[in-house]
Amino acid sequence: MSDEESVFNVLFLCTGNSARSILAECILNRIGRPNFKAFSAGSHPKGEVHPFALDLLGKLNYPIDTLRSKSWEEFAQDGAPPMDFVFTVCDQAAGETCPIWLGHPMVAHWGVDDPAAFVGPERDHRAFFATVYAMLERRLNIFVNLPLDVIDKLSLQQRLDEIGSSRDTAA
């Protein structure tokens, strides 16, 4: 656990940091409060959050004014919050060489289909964003309810990997 206020810091990584990782950051910051603080970043950030992600989060009453697409380098620099957990939410980011994270976090891959890459009518595209949101919310609800204060590191890693390999795919 991070020293700062005994809060677990969690970083969600994706390539573009425009949809999946942003959704996960928002969800965990809501359902994990006060025990978790979530962040998101990308290996090659798009520079903006996908408008359908912003629209969905806004309709679900999330604060969206400060959301931004950012590089994972921000979280590998001196002064960055030390991470307790790092989750990749896209297969491409999982295969990339990541920076060295402050805090020596536990790492797991929670691959989710990319709603930003969906091709089809707008109504279906927006529905796909909602499906991905629901999948991430289910996984994060399991995560925040793990007995982190009593579980050993090996068992915790196994549970994190199980959450990421659950068959609730968005496709």
User: What phi, psi does 86 have (nearest 5°)?
Assistant: -130, 125
- pLDDT of 162: 94
Report the chain's mean pLDDT, rounded to a whole number: 90
Q: Set out the domains of the chain in order of their start, with CATH numbers.
A: 4-164 (3.40.50.2300)
Tell me: pLDDT of 93 over 80.
no
Mean pLDDT of 128-156: 95
pLDDT in tens, 31-87: 999 999 999 999 899 999 999 999 999 999 999 999 999 999 999 888 999 999 999
Residue percentage of the chain with pLDDT more than 70: 89
Q: How confident is the model at residue 119 (pLDDT cuts 50, 70, 90)?
A: very high
Contacts of 4 (CB under 8 A, 6+ apart): 81
In the β-sheet with 106-109, what is the strand arrangement from edge to edge?
A: 36-42, 8-14, 85-88, 106-109
Say if residue 29's pLDDT is above 90: yes
pLDDT at 168: 62
Strands 106-109 and 85-88: parallel
Closest CA to 107 of 136, 83, 84, 86: 86
Kindly state the average pLDDT of the residues 140-158: 94
- The pLDDT of residue 3 is above 50: no
Predicted confidence at residue 97, as pLDDT, reads 62
Asked if residue 92 has pLDDT above 90, the reply is no
